[in-house]
Structure 1
Amino acid sequence: MHGAQNRLSGPTGATRAVGLIGLLMLVGCGNARPGPTSNPARGKLVINRHACGSCHWIAGVAEANGTVGPPLSHFGSQQMIAGALPNSPDNLTRYLLSPESVVKGNVMPNQHLTGGDARDAAAYLLTLR
């Protein structure tokens, strides 16, 4: 333990410790930023698994013929998400993770997606034109 304290002491060690803490916070929070690892094919599976089609009509998704929520078959060409945010991968991922935090009183339920599932679902929805 004494050696570890020496490595983290001083300006260089403090800088490393702050960087490490920042990295751990990103990993621990599920870092919801879309990135090169988001996968539209996995996103389609996420949408099926969470039964998004029970409320939304989504062409190309089995049994996605719901009429409670808006149709999502051309979601990628929409300008806005829920009338509140510009349509982008970051914003859509944020919305999918917590709809109520984006639009107060939103009727879309929180599906308790992981950051990866939200990124993948966003990647799939953004392909729909």
Structure 2
Amino acid sequence: MVVGAAVLCGLVAAAGGAAGLAVSRERADTVARAMTGGDPERAPDLIRRYGCAGCHTIPGIPGADGQVGPSLDGLRRRVYVGGVALNRPDDLVWWIVDPQAFSPRSAMPATGIAEAEARDVAAYLYAR
């Protein structure tokens, strides 16, 4: 079942309240895992290994303050990924794996990341 990023955003917003931050993070992780089939806990190491942090500002990743690509903060609320692909879990995963398949002139390089690893990164981005 493919769940849209907007559904994730709604579930996170529904958590609310004083203790809501911890609950919302847990819910966001759970929903992001279901959406992508990835594990957001594995993503920080992957983000550093594949150089994502050198080009993007990524919340929760120390040193991820790159200015080459857009900030990835709030990615789950966006309509498009890379300005060309609908913000759906499978499209985000394939954008991470092979951005030129969506946009041949994209400045984002093919990093060599495997699909399973891209699912972990996508889960992390949707959970933040």
TM-score norm. by structure 1 comes to 0.68
Q: Please, which runs of 5 or more residues in structure 2 have no aligned partner?
A: 1-34
CA drift of 1:44 comes to: 2.4
Alpha-carbon distance in structure 2 between the residues aligned to 1:41 and 1:79: 25
- Number of matched pairs: 94
**Higher relative contact order by CA 8 Å / sep ≥ 6: 1 or 2?**
2
Q: Deviations over 1:20-67 (max 9, x none)?
A: xxxxxxxxxxxxx943xx101112221122121111111210110011
Q: Aligned residue for 1:75?
A: 75
Deviation at 1:103, TM superposition (A): 0.8
Q: Which residue of 2 aligns with 1:90?
A: 90
Alignment of 1:50-129 (within 5 A): 50-128=50-128
What are the superposed Cα offsets for residues 74-122 of structure 1, whole Å, 9 maximum, x if unpaired?
Answer: 1111111011111111000111110111112101010111111011111
AA partner of residue 123 (structure 1) = A
Q: Which has the higher helix share?
A: 2
Identify unmatched segments of 5+ residues in structure 1. Answer: 1-32
For the 8 Å contact 1:56–1:64, the answer to whether it is kept is yes
> Structure 1 runs of 4+ off > 3 angstroms?
none
Computing the radius of gyration over CA atoms, which structure comes out larger, 1 or 2?
1
CA RMSD of aligned residues (A): 1.5
Partner Cα distance (1:67, 1:44) in 2: 18
